[in-house]
Amino acid sequence: MRSISKAAEAPTQDRLDVVFHALSDRTRRSLLSRLAHGPAMVTELAKPFAMSLPAVSKHLRVLEAARLVVREVDGRIHRCSLSARPLRDVGCWVEDYRPFWEETLDALGRYVESSPPKGRSKRRSRR
């Protein structure tokens, strides 16, 4: 894992908290998935959901707070687009754990390969 000073780590951790909170909801993840295909108006984003437009807007505000979505307003038209930078930050954070998972999976593989195969246990049927 990378070594980062405590003072520099705190703002990064705070940003990750906000991003993970935004990603914790399936509706918000669906909105991001849609925006990965290109910008869309809020009304277009709301169509697949069985919720009110204000409820969808509330989800979008959470995504905006996490800097995952950028909203442009032109009069009454609100167009949203994906901002992937915070997702790269999450990817970097997850990547820090790759050595741990690789070693754990390697250890599991070594264990499975070194263990003698166990025969099937024969159960007696009761009559």
Reported confidence tier of residue 13, pLDDT bands at 50, 70, 90: confident
Residues 53, 61: contact at Cβ < 8 Å? no
Q: Which helix (H) or strand (E) holds 109?
A: helix 98-114
Task: Please give the domain boundaries of the chain with CATH numbers for all domains.
Answer: 10-111 (1.10.10.10)
Q: What is the pLDDT of residues 40-64, one digit of tens each?
A: 999 999 999 999 999 999 999 999 9
Measured from the Cβ of residue 109, the count of other Cβ atoms closer than 10 Å reads: 10
Q: Which residue has the tokens 């959901």?
A: 49
- The percentage of the chain sitting over the pLDDT mark of 90, rounded to a whole number, equals 57
Structure tokens at 102: 């690789």
